[in-house]
Structure 1
Amino acid sequence: MALTSSVPVTSATLAAPGVRLYYEVRGSGPLLVLVGSPMHTEPFAPLAELLAADHTVLTTDPRGHYGSALDDPDSDSTPDLRAGDLARILRHVDAGPATILGSSGGAITTLALLQSDPELVETAVAHEPPLAELLDDRAEQRVLRADIVATYRRGDEIEAIRKFFASTDMELPEEAFQRMFGDRTPASAAEDRYFYLHELEGTAGWRPDLDALRAVRERLVIGIGQASAGQFCDRTSRALAADLSIEPTPFPGGHVGFVEAPEKFAVRLREVIG
């Protein structure tokens, strides 16, 4: 599952209630965790390899995706469940409090972990968490999500994916859309199905405990991509920052800047956490 790398990668699974959790460890030094949802270990690999020069870097497959297979494939994924999974892995690895970079749904997982198990977290970087419930138009957002899920459920999967990308305000040219979704493998279709039917609503509809986060806000960084201005996750991130009286921190690129330019992202992340 791991990409070819000049840094040795150790992969393992850990049993948890209802799921076997897949994770990878590379490098040595202070523990740094890269968390996505539904994004899994592989897209993080270039960034992880760069950071492994001076960190022990942990990446995971979130429950229901790729190596983290569920006993019941139709069970839902929520931020609280994923935070519990991550807490279990961190205690198993036992490398001290972690610095965590969470991206998108993984940023919400990171916030949930910071609420539930703050002793496991030294610094949490929540990069563009899609917290729709913090927006003034949250009622409209609920309607949009319900329509996306209903469209997927009735079998019009490509149209549901189009509606999802439209809801994020991220521009995806038709050529890129077709390259990503025009000829999906059965495995990638299964990943999409799990996200739209069992993960999207529980993630975007999650509301953080703002009082709990205020109590640990000195450990929290809210990251926003410099190319994300005006997009859905820019708005949600700024709403969280305003609620917590935290100044957002800019990062290179857009919503997945660490995939677009991992070298620049690694430099900026080191500045922020170091």
Structure 2
Amino acid sequence: MTFPTKTGTLKVPGAKIYYEAQGSGPLLLLIAGGPTDAGVFAELSHFLADRYTVVAYDPRGNSRSPFDGKPEALQLDVHGDDAARLIEALGDGPAFVMGNSGGAQIGLNLAARHPEKVRALVAHEPPCLMLLPDPSEALAGNKEIHDTYQREGVEAAMQKFMAMAGLDEHGEDEEQQAPPPPEALETFERINGNMDYFLAHGLMPLSLYQPEIETLRTGKPDVIVGVGEQTVGEIANRTGVALAEKLGTQPMQFPGDHGGYGPHAEAFAKTLHAAFAQA
């Protein structure tokens, strides 16, 4: 069954947030990470819309969610507040939330600072480097990526970023895919347009973010840490495992790699629904 997609914007302090909503049922907020936007969740939303009102949005500074003025450095508290305002505006009570990568960090901030807005959070591979036993090497790597961007530009910096994150090692799934539809190409173009903002203003604040562990350990709301089946040993998997350990929980395996919600959308949706059902 196909559900129509409704689009809209929500005015928040300092920015305007673009969102897409489809389906019916309890609100499920999907939070994109890094330079990505709502478009990366198109397939996943399709497989969830029969059970949830699925809302995906462009985080401020990305794509169709512009700042009112000049770009500002990414602040997790501000992004957490944006997510809380979306839930308040579009939902009827607390929402289920799934964030990927930097979007998982936004979800962690939201759950810690606005627990009344969240039924349960799935934080899928949040790259919280500060939770590693020794984050110095990873932090130095991200600083080198940032410095490379300043010296040589987006392309050189992103090559380093993809190699460090292990995202250049999962081409097999992509090779088995049919040619992408026009909507996916449009999403790709928007994400490319976000790279300057991400590298200049987003990468280092996300690298240094430390979740409020003691607050999150209360279990209100439930926080489920997701890790990719194909990312064992990679940095975002390791930070996810480290977060689960500090929360006193076990990480939940999700299909695919760091972006498994795309090529494995149907299986990812089933696992996500199971995670919420057990919360």
Counterpart residue identity of residue 31, structure 2: V
Q: Distance in 1 between matches of 2:198 and 2:61?
A: 8
Task: Write out the 4+ residue segments of structure 1 that deviate beyond 4 Å after TM superposition.
Answer: 173-176, 185-189
The answer to whether residue 15 in structure 2 is matched with residue 19 in structure 1 is yes
Q: Which amino acid aligns with 1:259?
A: G
- Residues in 1 aligned to 2:153 and 2:199: alpha-carbon distance in whole angstroms: 12
Please, which of 155, 158, 161 is the counterpart of residue 158 of structure 1?
Answer: 155
Contact 1:64 1:73 in 2 (8 A): no
Native 8 Å contact 2:29 2:87 kept in 1: no
Q: How does 1:165-244 map to 2 (within 5 A)?
A: 165-172=162-169, 188-216=191-219, 219-244=222-247
| Greater mean deviation of Cα atoms: 94-103 or 212-221 | 212-221
Q: Secondary structure at the match of 1:26?
A: strand
RMSD: 2.4
In structure 2, the partner of 1:57 is: 54
Native 8 Å contact 1:7 1:26 kept in 2: yes
Out of 3, 25, 30, which is 1:29 matched to? 25
Normalised TM-score (structure 2) = 0.89
Cα deviation code 1:94-138 (max 9, x no counterpart): 321111111110100000000100000001000000000111231
User: Quick one: distance in 1 between partners of 2:236 and 2:113?
Assistant: 23
Q: Is the 1:33–1:98 Cα contact (8 Å) retained in structure 2?
A: yes
2:183 corresponds to: none
1:186, distance to aligned residue in structure 2 (A)? 8.0
Q: Note if contact 1:129-1:237 (Cα within 8 Å) is conserved in structure 2.
A: yes
Residues in 1 aligned to 2:169 and 2:14: alpha-carbon distance in whole angstroms: 36
Which shifted more, 56-65 or 186-195?
A: 186-195
Counterpart of 1:124 in 2: which secondary structure?
Answer: strand
The aligned amino acid for 1:195 is: F
Closer/same/farther in 2, CA of residues 22 and 214 from structure 1, 3 Å limit: same
Instruction: Find the counterpart in structure 2 of residue 181 from structure 1.
Output: none
Q: Which residue of 1 aligns with 2:271?
A: 268
Residues in 2 aligned to 1:30 and 1:166: alpha-carbon distance in whole angstroms? 38
Cα deviation for residue 50 of structure 1 reads 1.3
Q: Within 5 A, what are the aligned runs for 1:36-185? A: 36-38=32-34, 39-172=36-169
Deviations 1:171-208 (A, max 9, x none): 347998xxxxxxxx985543100011111111121011
SS at match of 2:110: helix
Distance 2:193 2:44 in 1: 26
User: Does structure 1 retain, via aligned residues, the 8 Å contact 2:20–2:55?
Assistant: yes
- Counterpart residue identity of residue 251, structure 1: F
Corresponding pairs, count? 266
Question: Which stretches in structure 1 are left out of the alignment for 5+ residues?
Answer: 177-184
AA matched with 1:129: P
